[in-house]
Each structure stands twice: as structure tokens, then as C-alpha cells.
Structure 1
Amino acid sequence: MEPDLDPNNRLMPLTAYGVKAMSIGFLIPQDSPVAWRGLMVQKAMSQLLFEVSWPKLDLLILDMPPGTGDVQLTITQSIELAGALIVSTPQDLALRDAVRGVDLFKKVGVPILGMVQNMSTFTCTECGHHHDIFGLDGVRKKCEQLGIKLLGDIPLHARICHDADAGKPTVVADPDGPQAQAFRDLMEAVGKTIGLLP
């Protein structure tokens, strides 16, 4: 499904489950690689921000790959950000990139809202045993070292992957499950941190 154009020739965001979204992935063939140099990536990011017919939004979330490159710098210079939310698995190698991201946003004056520990604990569906595949509480410990909040802890669970592949958020597909509760807890923590929730 490709986005439509509005009367002003701007792209219309796609909507599912009440969430409006726009992505480079919507604009190129599914199997085509995005082999772009920095300037092309910056231009594309600018188009997604300013040439899409966004309605009035409560919140605009920019999902970016880890790193401290041109795109992150361009965004911090183009719009005023409420803050940065850093997502990482608990393993040391991933945390190194996450810490670089924290440092970059601090240097350019963007508040760090906190961190999210992703793919943390796997709970065996047969025996109920917990397995810390990527390490135990690496993000939690890093938050303590850096003096920032841990806003959420998303488990490693096949249901999350299955729901994403099916195009249905876990909070819709299995609203009473523990994975959905982890996402709700995260959104509540973020909402309170930025003042959207009391």
C-alpha cells in the first residue's frame, strides 16, 4: 500500500489502529535496498517531516537507527525535540552505541527522556524459566551509571515478532498478555515524562 497525495501534492500518512505513520519503506519497492549517502538520507528525512500532510498530532515519534551521524544532527537542527528515548538490548556491544547516542543528544541540548531495555528476558513457555539471552539488566545498570530513567523493559517473546509480521500491534492482538502490558507501561512512563499524562 502506497501513500496518497493531498490537494497540495503532499504525501498523506498511512493510518492503522489510530496511528498515523510515514516511512521511506512506504515509498520504495519492498525488495529495493536503500543505498543512500548522507545527503540523500538527510533530504529524505526532511521530506518525511515537512512534505507530509501531517494532521495536528499529540506526539510525533521519529524512529531512527542507532548512531550519531548526519541524520541525528540534522534532526536536532531542524526541529525542537521534546527529548530522546534511547532503546537498547542489554548486551555490552549494543549499550556502547546507546551511550554514544546519549552523549550526542546531551551535547546538542536535547533532553534524555530515558532508556528502554528491549529484548530483555525470555520466559520459556514450557517450563516458565527466565533466560537472559542478551545479558541481565544491562540497560538498567547503565541507567544507574548515567543517572537517567529506565522507562521500560520489553521482553524477548515470539508473540511480539509474530504480531509485528502480521501487522497488528501486540496491544491489539493480545491486549491481556504480559507483552502488551510491558508496552502499555512504557507508553505511560513516556507520557508522564513529557507531560502528556498526569
Structure 2
Amino acid sequence: MRNAITVLLIIAAAFGACAQNTSADAAKPAAPDTIYFVNGDQIAAYVIDTSGDKITFEKQTSKKHKKIETDMENVFSIRYGSTGKEIMVYNYDTLIGNDYTVADARLFIAGERDAQRGYHCRGLSAAAFAIGVASGITGASLFVLLPPYVFTGIVNHTRVHVRHKSVTQLDNATRDPYLYGYAEVARRKRTLRTLLWGGTGVAIGFVLHFATGLNK
């Protein structure tokens, strides 16, 4: 009798362990989905809803399980982690401003992504900073902001040189949609950074103007 009870207890314990393992496996989240945005960004997230004109998702790193919504028009495609299948959200339609075919849009976004990751305008930022300092040190009232602003305007009209080190696939560097996407992000970076460093230079120039007694 005791042996029978012992056997039953062992069997029950084994079933309990199996149930715990099954529950633990079920609690494990599936592989995250990847959302590709038309601006070149991409995030790992769990897509919850794609109905209507918005996509609802939860970031992979979210600890509060906060749901986020974004407009469909901001998304290029979704790759589901559970199946590996990519679902296209973007569609070619000139009536709504989607002037690129899906293939060309993919190249455009690749250019944006490479520029975001690898384009740096350190030389232009340094030049903007130097111009800002030189302008600010004169102490000429609000007009000191003019030289850095003009410099930024000139820079934005110069050609963007694609740096091969920043190109993920070199074959793309000869394709016009890729180059357009790369240039768009590169110019945006130029604008923000030259304005930032130019303004910083002006502020430091002002400090030097008063610290060195040039205002006397």
C-alpha cells in the first residue's frame, strides 16, 4: 500500500513539474516583430492591432506594457517575429504622395537608414562653431547670429557626398532612390548640427567678449 502511494506521489510530482514547465514556456513572449518606418527608423516591438488607420504596438523593452499608436502612413512594413513574414503597409499611390514604387521606396529608406547611422558632419560642425565664436566675440548685438545662419544655408545647398563606409550595400550607392534618401537625412543632420554648433559658438564668443574686456 505504501509503495502504491509513493508511486502515485512521484507521478503527481512529475505531472506538476511538466505543468510548470508548460506554463513557463507559454509565458515566454514570442520573438518580437520588427516595424520599419518610412523615415528609415526601425524598432523591435509586439504588434497588437493593425486595423483602421493606425498601428498599435508595445515596445520590446516596455516594462509597463504601454501601448503605442502610430499612423499607418508612417510605416513601410512589418516583419512578424513568429513567422518571419513581411507584410507591406506602404503602397505606391501618387494621389497620396507615395511617388516611389515599393522597390524604390525600399531603396530610399535604406539610404535614410545608412545616413542616420553613418553620416557625420564633424568638419562642418567645427566650421560652424568657429564662425559662431568669431561672430559672438565681436559682441555686435543680435547680428552675431547672422553668420552661422548664413553658413548653414550655404551648406545645405552643397552636394552630399555618400561615404562608402556608411553604405550597408555598395550596390545601392549607384541607385537614385537610395541617393535621394541618403541626401535627405544628411542635409537634415547638417542643418541641425551646424545651427547647434554655430549657436554654441556664438554663446562662447559672447562670454569671451565680456571676459576679455573687449566690450570696453
TM over 0.5: no
Q: Smaller-chain TM-score range?
A: under 0.3
Of structures 1 and 2, the one with the larger relative CO (CA 8 A, separation 6+) is 2
- Structure showing greater radius of gyration is 2
* TM-score of the superposed pair, with normalisation by structure 1: 0.25
Going by fraction, where is helix more abundant, 1 or 2? 2
What's the TM-score once normalised by structure 2's chain length? 0.24
